Amino acid sequence: MIRDTKQIATLASPLRIALVDTLEAIGPCSIADLARAVGVKPDALYYHLRMLEKRGLIARKANIVRTSRSLALAYDASDKHNVSAVTSVASSMLRGALRFFRKAFKPGVRTSGKRRELWAAQRTVRLSPGELETVNRLLTELLDTFGDAREAESDDRLYSITFVLAPQRAR
């Protein structure tokens, strides 16, 4: 869990989130491989990698980069600094998700069937406490599926998922 608000605030950039998240997915790699995986030129990464390294979120040795910690953020609604930092990160995640969506929404992407790879959806519904527990269990299971870094197989591709679960407050 990342509790330090300076570390959390450092992630308030779609590219920095993508860098840490991608490193979690593919494991330690060269800066060139990381740049290829996130779709930018290596020169565009150095500033962001220095920021992440300074805050202890990644480690670099020679030209190899690895994550130092998971992207799991501590949420503390009673701490205004934490609320501000986590909200900024959520905003960056959503901007990043929109960028991924735009890049992927091209001819050839599967938008239906069992191997559908592009979705955007929103639902608002009343949930009982038990149903909310089910939603949280399923979201946790989904994140676990996206879990640890592993070697790529020949037909593997990187995928990104972003979601927000938030209670609606009646006025």
Q: What is the mean pLDDT of residues 24-51?
A: 94
- 102, 120, 119: which is closest to 39 by C-alpha? 102
Residues in CB range of 87: below 8 A, 6 or more apart: none
99: region left, alpha or beta (phi > 0 left; psi from -120 to 50 alpha): alpha
Show the tokens assigned to 149. 């870094």
For residue 110, give its domain range: 1-171
**Higher model confidence: residue 96 or residue 71?**
96
CB 42 within 8 Å of CB 51: no
Per-residue pLDDT, 170: 63
Angle at 13 (CA atoms; ends 12, 16), nearest 5 degrees:
110
Q: What is the pLDDT of residues 124-150, one digit of tens each?
A: 999 999 999 999 999 999 988 887 667
| Residue 9 pLDDT exceeds 70 | yes
Kindly provide the residue ranges of all beta strands, DSSP E only, lying in 4-120, ordered along the sequence.
29-30, 58-61, 64-67
- Percent of the chain topping pLDDT 90: 78
CB 11 within 8 Å of CB 19: no
Per-residue pLDDT, 99: 92
Count the domains in the chain: 1
Q: What is the pLDDT of residues 55-68, one digit of tens each?
A: 999 999 988 999 98
